[in-house]
Amino acid sequence: MTMSAEKDEKAILIKLRQLTGAGMLACRDALAEAKGDLKEAQNIIRRKGLDIAKKKSSREAKEGQIISYIHSGGKLGVLLEINCESDFVGKNDQFQIFAKDVAMQIAASHPLYVSQDQIPEEDLEKEKANFRHEVQGKPEQVQEKILQGKLTKRFEEVCLLNQKFIKDDSKTVQDYLTETIAKIGENIVIRRFVRYELGGSE
């Protein structure tokens, strides 16, 4: 390998670490698996991070913090509860940055629920009925495909974890949560939030 190629490889490795927060060894392995493709290496680390998140998701998260975020001008605010496993992590800078980012996401993107599991069944059925009405007359197979597409788009609008992350729209808030769990090494749960807007209804 030439010095120039080594330099390029090192630059990609550093970039991957900055993007994902994963360790150097994990980044090197992911890049090797992805044959040097930075985007694919990110996906590999995210997938592995998701495995870590799944393993940790059964662990109890009772610590954490309630975060407040007031948008400039004082006309928009968010109260957010995020839980972790230990008081130490609750005070950790990385955890604080994550919590602040999520609060800003809520302020900017106005989700109604943390995840699609929180949507009341009655509301979900109403949405499906409306969408089915819209696709009447099309072949059944096409109807189902359109229906799933419309539901996915709706979840992206109203569910925090499904939304594109405002600071990096190449990933969702769920991806960001997964990455943070992998970096910190503890289960993290976005428990609940309230968004207040001056003059808005309850």
Q: Look up the CATH architecture of domain 63-115+159-197.
A: 2-Layer Sandwich (3.30)
- Residue 22 tokens read as 């994963």
Residues 49-74: tens digit of each pLDDT: 766 666 666 667 788 999 999 987 88
Domain spans, the chain: 3-56, 63-115+159-197, 120-157
Pairwise pLDDT comparison (117 vs 52), residue with the higher score = 117
Q: Do domains 3-56 and 63-115+159-197 have the same CATH topology?
A: no
Residues 79-95, mean pLDDT to the nearest whole number: 91
pLDDT digits (tens, 9 = 90+) for 102-114: 999 999 999 999 9
* pLDDT in the model for residue 144: 79
* Residue with the larger pLDDT of the pair 159 and 25: 159
Best CA proximity match to 11, nearest among 33, 31, 40, 34: 31
- pTM for the full predicted model: 0.71
**Tokens standing for 122?**
């009655």
Residue 173 has pLDDT above 90, yes or no: yes
How does pLDDT run across 8-59, given as a tens digit for each residue? 777 888 888 767 767 678 888 888 998 888 888 888 887 777 666 666 666 6
Architecture of domain 3-56: Orthogonal Bundle (1.10)
CA angle in degrees (0–180, nearest 5) for 73-115-98: 50
Higher pLDDT, 101 or 149: 101
d(CA 45, CA 18): 12
- Sheet strands (E) in the chain: 63-70, 76-84, 164-165, 168-172, 189-197
Mean pLDDT rounded to a whole number for the chain? 84
* CA dihedral of residues 164, 166, 169, 170 (deg, nearest 10): -90
At 200, is the secondary structure helix, strand, or coil? coil
The answer to whether the CB of 113 falls within 8 A of the CB of 188 is no
HSE (side-chain half, CA atoms, 13 Å) at 198: 7
